[in-house]
Structure 1
Amino acid sequence: MLQSLSHHFKCGSSFGLFLSHSLSSVSEEDLTHFRSFLPKSAVLTDAEDLIPFNEDWLKKYHGNSRVVLRPKTTEHVSKILKYCNERRLPVVPQGGNTCLVGGSVPVKDEIILSLNSMNSIRSFDPHAGVLTCDAGCVLENLEVFLAEKDHIMPIDLGAKGSCHIGGNVAANAGGLRLLRYGSLHGSLLGLEVVLADGTVLNEMSTLRKDNTGYDLKQLFIGSEGTLGVITGVSILTPPKSNAMNVVFLSCDSYDQVLRTLEMAKKRLGEVMSAFEFLDDDALGSVLGHMSNLVCPVEERRSFYVVIETSGSNKDHDEEKLMAFLEEVMGDGIIADGVLAQSETQFKDIWALRESISESLNKKGAVYKYDVSLPQSRMYDLVEDIRKRVGSQSLITCGYGHIGDGNLHLNVVFPSFEKKHEEILEPFVYEWVSKEHGSVSAEHGIGYMKPKVLHHSKTWESIRVMKTIKDALDPNGILNPWKVLPEKIQ
């Protein structure tokens, strides 16, 4: 093994090209084997049934898988992978299929391993706030379960009604609450993972402190199903706040957005749980799509900010919030603002932010770029792209988690075409690289970004990633053609 790892670390061979000549296609004999231990409803082969599994949410990536397997237990997953590894059958693990970078659909005819039947909550410890569950649990369902226990999930995503917690972990999803609760690298206490050869790696710790050797679970957070299939999750959940507020503010310039953020960090500090921004094009898209929503402020402006606070004392939090609002309005930093006065207003304000992606998707082909940048430079990228695409795009807008430096750049064209992609790429990635940013803040690499991974990672780091991949998945059956580039320098 040591000789093998050393060899792979030094050679930098073409991983993707090797895969394309060594993997097998599923046969009738294989299907018979799967049906021998899986329920009849767990093996899907009808072409019509396969359509939603073979295409992504954006309708940008399409695969040609001829079978979807829906295991109900970790043992099922283990048997599937053991067999596939022996037969060198490629497998794409799939959760809610909300991935935005082509990571959850086949590139060719890989077997789709859907976790949507593994959706049980295993346990909840109210004293420690630790939830253990299957990887196929829908995020919103976990939220509903925890609400009854006076707890919340540490992540909150626009796709929470369909995304799975296992997929969230596999992609290291960030979302709206990262500013307050940090990334999943801190919230995840343990994982249950099935390796490529069928080995079940039980790392389902519920301890907050466990300093015994390598923290193996960290390898699989953000690995996008290329190192193992996550089947179980142990996660620390925060107590539900007694007092929550949300405000919607308007600004005339991006500089005022930054000044608002600076002031919010100083004045709201420990009670601020989210700080989001969106430009007027993004808001206009939502208002045109959601007839039940209206602009909260009287006059449309260039930029808007959504701030959420959550704490334990309603009077204390509102006092801090009102003092902050008086200061930013008195100094002319914001043009106008609205504080939600009811649960309905609270939800409507958040809907304006969370419905942007859906509204843009209804307008045309959306090229989405999820990047991390210094906060002072985030919107410069949007403006430079607007100049570059001109009138060719239907909409070019920017929004995102400015509190943690995460920009969502969206460019909408009438259709997905090579000529449109060539306008944007590699320009966007080179621009981000020059600013020492990241080409993926929270959506992952998937099939979309392996060729630009070097803009954020050194080739030395990429070679180490390949070494780990080769060690855990030597036959390359797990989510092939994803994350790592085909050619490594």
Structure 2
Amino acid sequence: MNNLIASLVELLDPSTVLTGADISEKYHADWSGADPCQPLALLKPKTTQQLSEIMALCHQHDQPVVIQGGLTGLAGGATPQSGEIAISLERMNGIEELDATAMTVTALAGTPLQVLQDAAEDRELFLPLDLGARGSCNIGGNLATNAGGTEVIRYGMTRSMVLGLEAVLADGTVINAINKMVKNNSGYDLKHLFIGSEGTLGIVTRVVLQLQPKSRSSHTALCALNSYESVTKLLVELKRSLGSGLTGFELMWDSYYNKVLEVLPSLTSPFQENHTYYLLLEYKDNNQTLGAERFESALFEQLESGLIDDALIAQSHQDADKFWQIRDGIGELFQVLGPVSNQDVSLPLEQIGPFADDLDQRLKAKYNNIGVLLFGHIGDNNLHVCAYTGRDEDKARINEDIMLMISEYAGAITAEHGIGVLKRDFLALSRTPSEIALMKTLKMAMDPKGILNPKRVI
């Protein structure tokens, strides 16, 4: 081990190879907070070449590594395990090119998502990927977990925005799959091996993303509904009347909505009556006047039909921000709820309502004084489940109860945060034996010594 550290110091420099007390606690765990562990060493390469040489040395010494980006993951995938070296990509950041004609941006993996969003906006363009952690998460981590966010209903997951990438394999080999063309069917599309693989097959170092024209107007509404059937019917009707302009469809159950208002006194409900569901809608257009008319007309039609019980259209950016603050209030809730089973899952659209009702009943029958908060993107099958009793010892059992129910309803145990460590033992609930066998075959072929993010995913 000492020989390896000495070689790494020689390769990089002493300031970028940290050990012992010089390693900040920041690098001991990701946002999941699961089992923090100090790595044997923390490396901070600045270039792909440095990372390649690091991996070649680690491969030679059979040294396992864990890859860290913005450390915003919730599955424990970036938390070091005993005996691992942590490699942080935070110094590998910056935009190399923004091509306004091709509408692409090329950036290093450690670049924060918000930096890319802001750069696109400065050129009247738009990066459709948006997450609550935008200021902290890095684009390489977004690719590694195939992140989703609030625009998936129109633009798809991160995978759909990636035109090309560069990656370093376990033995230090650099795969240059940089590409700016939408159409390129020249053999296997290798970028998909790395997107969503959570750093287990290779380390993404550079990426080319497809941008979109910036919409010139945005319209937001908060709607109240009293049945899940109405929610799904409304989704179909709005897709029909608003087309691809429908970019946000965020559903909040009353349990979540009321809890946010209880915890955040700066927010109040704009409705006079209580309802079962609260739906945040966003529509984007390129004509402020005609777009507003189209949006209002679509909502009025559904109010008249009875699908919507009540609706409020934001009259200003401030109004829209207040609506979104309710939806995004989960961050503040985590600070006061204590130990929480925070699950991000997917289900067939028609099963989300029945699943939510069934889950709520089962958990409340099993655990005393349990709180169950539900919200999600819904239009892309994504449901967030937060359950808490205030007792840390209940958390693991609640996690398992939710995972087993997801299997019963033929859902996916993770929607956009990955498997990591925390969901690894439940993978077989969402993937068939033949799928898992193929995953293991790929892992063995690309990382035969098992040193890249070991014991994650599979």
Question: Residues of 2 paired with 1:218 and 1:80: CA distance?
Answer: 24
Q: Which residue of 1 aligns with 2:457?
A: 483
Q: Which residue of 1 aligns with 2:397?
A: 422
Q: Please state if 1:369 is matched with 2:377.
A: no
SS for the counterpart of 1:76 is: helix
Structure 1 residue 103: Cα displacement: 1.1
Contact conserved, 2:76 with 2:422, CA < 8 A, in 1?
Answer: yes
Structure 1 residue 394: Cα displacement: 4.5
Q: Please state if 1:457 is matched with 2:457.
A: no
Could you give the per-residue CA deviations for residues 418-454 of structure 1, whole angstroms, max 9, x where no partner exists? x4422441x3233222322212221111112222212
Question: Residues of 2 paired with 1:285 and 1:51: CA distance?
Answer: 32
Paired letter, 1:28: N
Q: Which of 248, 251, 265 matches 1:277? A: 251
Structure 1 range deviating more: 206-215 or 383-392: 383-392
Q: Which of 214, 218, 241 matches 1:240? A: 214
Q: Which residue of 2 aligns with 1:176?
A: 150
Structure 1 residue 303: Cα displacement: 1.4
1:143-158 residue pairs with structure 2 within 5 A?
143-158=117-132
Q: Please state if 1:193 is matched with 2:170.
A: no
Paired letter, 1:32: A
Could you give the per-residue CA deviations for residues 230-281 of structure 1, whole angstroms, max 9, x where no partner exists? 1101010111101111111122232332232232122212211111101122
- TM-score of the aligned structures, taking structure 2 as reference length: 0.95
Q: Which residue of 2 aligns with 1:399?
A: 375
Contact conserved, 1:50 with 1:66, CA < 8 A, in 2?
Answer: no
Question: Residues of 1 paired with 2:131 and 2:395: CA distance?
Answer: 28
Structure 1 residue 371: Cα displacement: 1.7
Contact conserved, 2:387 with 2:398, CA < 8 A, in 1?
Answer: no
Q: Which of 31, 49, 54 matches 1:75? A: 49
Contact conserved, 1:56 with 1:104, CA < 8 A, in 2?
Answer: yes
Could you give the per-residue CA deviations for residues 365-404 of structure 1, whole angstroms, max 9, x where no partner exists? 1212222112222132233232233253542111111111
Contact conserved, 1:360 with 1:412, CA < 8 A, in 2?
Answer: no
Question: Residues of 2 paired with 1:158 and 1:223: CA distance?
Answer: 22
Q: Which of 35, 54, 70 matches 2:28? A: 54
1:245-256 residue pairs with structure 2 within 5 A?
245-256=219-230
Structure 1 range deviating more: 359-368 or 111-120: 359-368
Paired letter, 1:352: I
SS for the counterpart of 2:201 is: coil
Question: Residues of 2 paired with 1:367 and 1:318: CA distance?
Answer: 40
Contact conserved, 1:47 with 1:66, CA < 8 A, in 2?
Answer: no
Question: Residues of 2 paired with 1:107 and 1:387: CA distance?
Answer: 37
Question: Residues of 1 paired with 2:120 and 2:58: CA distance?
Answer: 37
Paired letter, 2:421: Y
Structure 1 residue 323: Cα displacement: 1.1
Structure 1 residue 481: Cα displacement: 0.5
Question: Residues of 1 paired with 2:316 and 2:135: CA distance?
Answer: 23
Q: Which residue of 2 aligns with 1:131?
A: 105
Paired letter, 1:385: L
Q: Which of 389, 402, 413 matches 2:363? A: 389
Contact conserved, 1:60 with 1:416, CA < 8 A, in 2?
Answer: no
Question: Residues of 1 paired with 2:332 and 2:16: CA distance?
Answer: 30
Structure 1 residue 58: Cα displacement: 3.4
Structure 1 range deviating more: 397-406 or 31-40: 31-40
Matched positions, count = 456
Question: Residues of 1 paired with 2:27 and 2:265: CA distance?
Answer: 30
Q: Which residue of 2 aligns with 1:23?
A: none
Q: Please state if 1:333 is matched with 2:307.
A: yes
Question: Residues of 2 paired with 1:479 and 1:255: CA distance?
Answer: 42
SS for the counterpart of 2:318 is: helix
Q: Which residue of 2 aligns with 1:444?
A: 418
Q: Which of 405, 408, 417 matches 2:384? A: 408
Contact conserved, 1:102 with 1:447, CA < 8 A, in 2?
Answer: yes
Contact conserved, 1:285 with 1:356, CA < 8 A, in 2?
Answer: no
Q: 1:396 to 1:232 in 2, by over 3 A?
A: same
SS for the counterpart of 1:466 is: helix
Question: Residues of 2 paired with 1:162 and 1:296: CA distance?
Answer: 31
Question: Residues of 2 paired with 1:44 and 1:415: CA distance?
Answer: 36
1:342-353 residue pairs with structure 2 within 5 A?
342-353=316-327
Structure 1 range deviating more: 249-258 or 454-463: 249-258
Paired letter, 2:377: H
Contact conserved, 2:388 with 2:395, CA < 8 A, in 1?
Answer: no
Paired letter, 1:360: F
Question: Residues of 2 paired with 1:322 and 1:73: CA distance?
Answer: 51
Structure 1 residue 46: Cα displacement: 4.3
Structure 1 residue 361: Cα displacement: 4.6
Q: Which of 352, 367, 383 matches 1:378? A: 352
More relative contact order, 1 or 2 (CA 8 Å, 6+ apart) = 1
Q: Which residue of 1 aligns with 2:200?
A: 226
Structure 1 range deviating more: 472-481 or 336-345: 336-345
Q: Which residue of 1 aligns with 2:284?
A: 310
SS for the counterpart of 2:337 is: coil
Question: Residues of 2 paired with 1:292 and 1:71: CA distance?
Answer: 43
Taking only the aligned residue pairs, the percentage that are identical comes to 38
Question: Residues of 2 paired with 1:53 and 1:287: CA distance?
Answer: 34
Question: Residues of 1 paired with 2:22 and 2:399: CA distance?
Answer: 34
Contact conserved, 2:359 with 2:405, CA < 8 A, in 1?
Answer: no
In structure 2, the gaps of 5 or more residues are none
Q: 1:92 to 1:313 in 2, by over 3 A?
A: same
SS for the counterpart of 2:86 is: strand
Contact conserved, 2:363 with 2:370, CA < 8 A, in 1?
Answer: no
SS for the counterpart of 1:268 is: helix
